[in-house]
Structure formats: structure tokens, C-alpha cells
Amino acid sequence: MTVACAACVAVPMADNVAIGPALQFSLPTVHCAACIGKIERGLAQLNGVTNVRVNLSLKRVSISGTVDPDAALSALKTLGFEAYALDLQALETAQDSAGRALLVRLAVAGFAMMNVMLLSVAVWSGAEAATRDLFHLISAMIALPTVAYAGQPFFNNALSALKVGRLNMDVPISLAILLAAGMSLFETLNSGAHAYFDAALSLTFFLLIGRYLDHRTRTAARSAAKELSALEVHTAQVLKGDSAVSMPTLEIRKGDTLLVPTGVRVPIDGVLNSGKALLDRSLLTGESDAVTVLGGAELQAGEVNLGRAITITTIVDGTDTSLRQMAALVETAENGRNRYTSLADRAAQIYAPAVHVLALVAFVGWVGVNGDIRHALNIAIAVLIITCPCALGLAVPAVSTSAISRLYSKGFLVKHATALERLAEVDHIVFDKTGTLTLPAHVDVSDLSADEQSVVTALAQASQHAWSRAVLSELPNTASASLSLIKEEIGEGIQAHWQGQTVALGRGEWLGASFTGLGLRIGESPAKQLHTQERLRDGIAEALDQMKLPCEMITGDRLAPAEVIADQLDIGFMANARPEDKLDRLAALRGAGQTVLMVGDGLNDTAALASAHASVAPSTALDASRNAADVVVLKEDFADLPSLLRIARMTRRLSQQNFAIAAIYNFIAVPIALAGFATPLAAALAMSASSVTVLLSAQRIRFVA
Amino acid sequence: MNVLVILIPVSLTLGACGLVAFLWTIRSNQYDDAQGNAERILIDND
């Protein structure tokens, strides 16, 4: 096979040039005007760029023109921003048409409400006889079409609930809106004193606000899921004759030959054609050490090729990899989680029947008192309007919408609508080790002389390998020695000439030494081993300190590396754990009455992530694990983990307080309505005041650190 | 009384203008990046 040389590997990558408004990158750290200016100016200088636009709310940049994705990515890195390429196909940039339709209904309801309110104020301040009837008639002309148009989301939901014989929140809402509008029309035509057109409209208006916010929360969760799958570019290099073609993984068939360049994940399960391969299996098993496999071995999708470029022959279709099967498994597990009843639903289950009973009692009671059906119906409608769950419909969505956007600005993608409520209940945390608590490769360079350090720096600069980058990050200020004849043996190491001697940085075996790890050899002297060690993720120690919750670590890795990390963080641990062991441990904790938060990234954590009460994954996790997680941390730093829990708890507390506010209003207003003293003015005041208080109170989530 | 014949249509028309303007802003994607638009005012374009 001629393809294994470095140049050939580079060619198909360079061919992969996008045309049109083709590139989007996720920028988790962009946050201000200066960032926007810097990125837009910086990228505009790239060759072929016609337009750059940063979207700060979505933390994304779109680039149009003929641009090489790699060039754009490295330009962003040079500007100092973390950037991740997004797969446009997975993103489906379609407009949110449902959200827009709601917004239009909201606008129409708001317009009608203002105009009718204007006319109502005239009536309330004493318009009489013909003037009052005229005002009521004009109100009816505005209100009736508006209710018919803007109220449709509620009517449709109520109808579909009634069809299956259930009561939901929309039934009393629709009843209140329709009865109020209908009764007011009847009163107007009979020159009655009270009309509730303004109430019918403000009900529609406030409830549409709640509905819109709720929709925003849900689409935020859905688009988070889309953004996540877009983070992974789902293509693979297929060998056709002598050249490699980039193809979507889904279109690859069993028996195709794939090229897997250095540092890239194996896209589809296959058999290794090359003689030997060095693989990182940490995403699948949690092992931190790389494994060497020989030709003919079976490779699983998700393993990372650390060695030189390899070729594999696929043994399944692209639609059928073990990873995809795992993702499907997770989806079924998720259904169990969907059975979790949210705070709002629980409130609705109690509230909806109560409202109906109360209105019925008012009607029957007043018919019994004076036999006047028209009067009794008026009072029953006043009760329905006042108890109508305006504030209730706003209580949860108002808080969770601001909480989710607040978390997004801190680098957390909330994927599940009930995730915050479940996170608030967590009292025990289980961590995975490799890739979650730790990041790979910390190279110990402390016992190298100054000369050796400058040689190592120069050699490392010549390579893109993960170890080289780790070396460079250890020696940021070292001047590099001047080398000549630099040559990289992909998967083995780099060698060059320095002051007449051959110097080499690479794997121990390649250097002719007895150890297997990373080593440095200068001239003929024996190779010197550079100890590589996992590095703790930034901010994790502080985060554990702050959270003050019992934590433990379960890892598939060996005892020794696990112990090192557990000691550093001072937490309990379990090593050599298989995925089933993780599940068993979670089940045991659940049995002991704990609600567990699982934090993990690998395929071996996926089942645990799906079965835990709540789960968090870093953005570097596999697709399957990210799908299983409720929240994905976009930043590399975990220091904000405690504020995720704090915001989740605050969200729950504020939602409960909002329910309380709504309840207090009802306690005061319902007796007045039942007694028959509620005028349309009183109803309008009570309703608006409670809705506005709830909306304002929800904004307090912004002040949680 | 007669003044109402003018005032009510005027108030309705003004309200309708507001509504139409709002619908236009929705149609032309002006709510896609509220945070970004708020910050963009600070960028020096010269």
C-alpha cells in the first residue's frame, strides 16, 4: 500500500475544501464585543473568505466563501479561541417555524389586548348606555377574531387531551377563554354592564408568553442535541484505487477499505490491514495506556489511531457500527427518564381538576341562592378567569429559560428539558477517570538539562502528535535548538541532526531502549525516558471542594493509575470496573436512597450515564455518551461544575416560589370571585399583577453566581 | 362623542402599524442573536 506516507495522508485533507456559506464553528469561549471584532477581522483576512458573522447568542461563527476548514480552524486557535468544527448537515439550519408562529400569535394577542384594554378603561371609568355598548361592540370585533386565531395552540392541545379522556392545563384555559368571550358577546348584545373581552385577551396573551418560553426551553434542548452531533464531522476516508475519498460514514458499505490517519477515530468497525497499529481505547474501555494490535485484529469504531496511518476493511455497514447500536440503546434508556414527571406537570395534575370543580361549585351555588342563571354563569366565568393558571403557566418556563441561557453562557449545554430539576435533587456524584477527571499526557521534563530541553522543544515542534504537543505545553518558554534534516516516522517518533549528532524523540522501542514509553536520545548515549502521566483536568479539584457532596471515581483503568488520581483528589475509587460494574454501583447507590449524578465520557460510561438520575459529559466525549448525558460541558475547564448545581437548585427554588406567588394570589382573589364581587377590572388587575410578579421573580436566576 | 369616530380608528391604525412593524422584524431574522446585537454597538468599525 503506497498510501501510508505522510504526504499522501495530507492530500485528501487539503482537498476537503468547502465552497459557499459552508463553515460553522462552535466557539465556547466567545463572550464580548472585542471577541466578535477580533474574530471577524481576523478571519476576513483569510484567503477566499467572503463573509464572516459571529452569533454571540449561539456562540458560533459562520464563514462563507471558499475556505479550507483547517486553515480557518487554526486561524481561530491563533486568535486565542477554542473552536470546534460543526457538521452543517447534522445541524440542519432550518428555521424554528413553530416558535415564529407562536411569536406572531403573541404579537396579535398583545396588539388586540392593548386596544381592548384602552376601550375597557373608558368603560371602567364610567361610560354608560350607548357609549358603553359601542365600546363593548368594538371590543368584540377586535377580540373575537383574535381569540379564534391566537388561542389555537390551547384549543388544539385541549381537544387532543379530551379525545383520549384526559384533563390537562389547556382544558380550563380554553374553557375560560371561550366562555369569557362567548358570555361577553351575549352581555354586549343584551346591553349588559360587564364584558370580559379584555380578560379573555390578556389570558391569551400571558399564557402565550408562557407557551413561547416553554417552547424556547424545548428547542434549546433539541438544538443542543443537534449541535452536539454536529460537533463530530461524520466522514471517513475511503480508499478507491490509489486515492482516498472523503465520504459520509452512513454511505460506507461492508467490505470498503478505509484510511485512518494518525490521531483520528476509527469510524466503523473493521479488520486491520496494516501490519501493526497503536490504538487509544480509553473512550471505549477507560484504559489510559495505548494498546498495540497486529494485522488481522478487529478494531471497534471509536478507538483512536495513535500510530502511523492505517487501513482497515470494514466488517459492517456505516449505519450499523457498534457505536450507533450503543446510541440506539441509550435512546431506549432515555425513554425511562422521560417518565420523570416535571414540577409543572405535577402542579397541573392537581390544579386542572380543582379549577373546574371550583367554577362548577360557584355556578351551582349561585343558581341555588337566587336562581339567576345568567348571574351565576357570570360569577363562574369570573372564577375561571381568576383561577386560570396564567402565573402557573409562566412559573416554570420563565425560570428555566433564563437558567438555560445563563448556563449556556457559562459553557453548559442543557440537553434535556427536565435536566435542571433532576440536577437539583443530586446528592452523590460518581466520576469516570480517563477523559473526565483526567486529560491525557503530562510529560515530566524536569530532569532534562537545558540543552536537552531545547532539543526536545525543537523536535516536538516538528510533529502534531499528542505527546509532542504535551511536551511543548510543558516547555512554553524554551528556545528551540536549530536542527537540520528533520524527519518524522509517523507513529514512532521524530529524528533530526543537531550539532553533528543524530537526535530523536519517540517511542522507547524505536529508540532501541528497553522501556516502552516516550524517550529522548542524543547521539549514541542511551535513550532517556520521559515519564508521561495523566494530568488532572483544570478546575476539577476546586470544583470538588466547592460542591461538598460525596464523590467517588469508578474507572475501567488499572489499579495503579486510578490510585494516583484518587489520592490527588482524596476521593474513594473502584478500578478495573466493567460497564456492568458501573451500573451495579449506581443501582446500589440508588438502593441506598441516593440520587446520583454521573460524570463520564467513554463508551463504557454510556449505560451508567443513561441510568443515573442526572448525567454530565465533557464535549470531547463520544457521540453515544453525549447523547446519554443531560448536560454537556463545552469548556475544557470543569471549575464551573458547582455553579451548574447551584443554578439548578436555584431554578427549582424559584419555580417553587413562583408557584407560591400564584397560589397566594388565588387565595385572595378566589373568595372575592366566589362571593360575586369580582368585576372585570378586579380580574384584569389580579391576573396581570400575578403574571408580571412571576416573570420578574424569575429574573432573579441571573444573579446566581 | 363625535371625536370618537376619529380617535378610535386612529388608535387602531397606530396599533396595527406597531403590529406590522413587529411582524416585519420577525420575518427579517432580527431576533436571532439578541446578545450579539447588543454587543456589536461597541465595535469600532473604522
Q: Which of A198, A256, A432, A623 is catalytic?
A: A432
- The pLDDT value given to residue A5: 42
Residue B34: pLDDT band with limits 50, 70, 90: confident
Are A56 and B39 an interchain contact pair (Cβ–Cβ within 8 Å)? yes
Task: Measure Cα distances from A431 to A358, A412, A597 in Å.
Answer: 50, 17, 8
Residues of chain A neighbouring B35 (CB-CB closer than 8 A): 56-57
Mean pLDDT computed over A671-686: 79
Question: Taking residues A381-394, what's their average pLDDT?
Answer: 77
- Do β-strands A572-574 and A551-554 pair in parallel, antiparallel, or remain unpaired? parallel
Q: What is the pLDDT of residue A231?
A: 63
Query: Tell me, what's the pLDDT at A330?
Result: 56
- Are A381 and A676 within 8 A, CB to CB? no
- Residues A213 and B34: their CA atoms lie apart, in Å, by 15
Strands ordered across the beta sheet of A23-26? A49-55, A60-65, A23-26, A84-86
| Stretch (H or E) spanning A268 | none
pLDDT score recorded for residue A7: 40
Which CB contacts under 8 angstroms, 24+ apart, belong to B5-8? Answer: B8/A119, B8/A138
Lowest pLDDT segment from A149-158, A586-595, A683-692: A683-692
Residue that is written with C-alpha cell 405535577 in the block? A346
CA–CA distance from A535 to each of A305, A438, A539 (Å)? 21, 5, 12
Instruction: Give tens-digit pLDDT for A547-573.
Output: 888 899 988 877 877 888 888 888 888
What the block records as the C-alpha cell of A126 is 364610567
> What pLDDT sits at residue A144?
93
Q: CA-CA distance, A355 to A382, in Å (whole number)? A: 12
Question: Which one of B12, B26, B35 has the shortest CB-CB distance to A115?
Answer: B12
Contact between A454 and A682 (Cβ < 8 Å)? no
Check residue A75 and give its pLDDT. Answer: 86
Residues A392 and A383: their CA atoms lie apart, in Å, by 16
Indicate the residue of B11, B26, B43 with minimum beta-carbon distance to A37: B43
Interface list for chain B against chain A, based on CB atoms closer than 8 Å = 1, 4, 8, 11-12, 15-16, 18-19, 22-23, 26, 31-36, 39-44
Over residues A432-446, mean pLDDT: 77
d(CA A232, CA A17): 17
pLDDT band at A105 (very low <50, low <70, confident <90, very high): very high
pLDDT of residue A277: 79
A108 vs A99: CA distance, rounded Å? 14
Substitution target in B43, B45, B46 with the highest count of A β-carbons within 10 Å is B43
**Mean pLDDT, residues A209-213:** 85
Nearest CA distance, B10 vs chain A (angstrom): 11
Please list, in sequence order, all residues whose beta carbon lies within 8 angstroms of the beta carbon of residue A222, skipping any fewer than 6 positions away: none
Contact yes or no for B19 and A107 at CB 8 A:
yes
pLDDT of residue A146: 93
Give A38-82 pLDDT, tens digit per residue: 888 888 888 788 888 888 877 888 888 877 777 888 888 888 887
Counting one residue from chain A and one from chain B, the pairs whose CB atoms sit within 8 A come to 51
pLDDT bucket at A145, cuts 50 / 70 / 90? very high
Q: What distance in Å separates the CA atoms of residue A255 and residue A404, rounded to the nearest whole number? A: 45
Across the beta sheet with A291-294, the strand order is A291-294, A276-280, A304-305
Of A61-75, A475-489, A559-573, A606-620, minimum mean pLDDT range? A475-489
Least confident span in A165-179, A268-282, A318-332, A589-603: A318-332
Does residue A545 have an active-site annotation? Answer: no
**Range in A219-228, A350-359, A670-679 the model is least confident about:** A219-228
**What is the nearest CA distance from A195 to chain B, expressed in angstroms?**
19
Give the confidence band of A225 by pLDDT, cuts at 50, 70, 90. low
| pLDDT for residue A128 | 76
C-alpha cell at A119: 376601550
Average pLDDT over all residues of chain A: 79
Contacts of B11 in chain A (CB under 8 A): 115, 118
pLDDT tens track for A258-297 = 888 776 778 888 888 887 777 877 767 766 666 778 888 8
Selecting from B8, B18, B43 the residue whose C-beta is nearest the C-beta of A138 gives B8
Which of A31-45, A231-245, B7-21 shows the lowest per-residue confidence on average (mean pLDDT)? Answer: A231-245
Asked if the model's pLDDT at residue A17 lies above 50, the reply is no
pLDDT of A412 over the 50 cut:
yes
Which of A33, A107, A118 is facing B40, going by the closest CB pair?
A33
The SS3 call for residue A199 is helix
Whether the predicted pLDDT of A18 surpasses 60: no
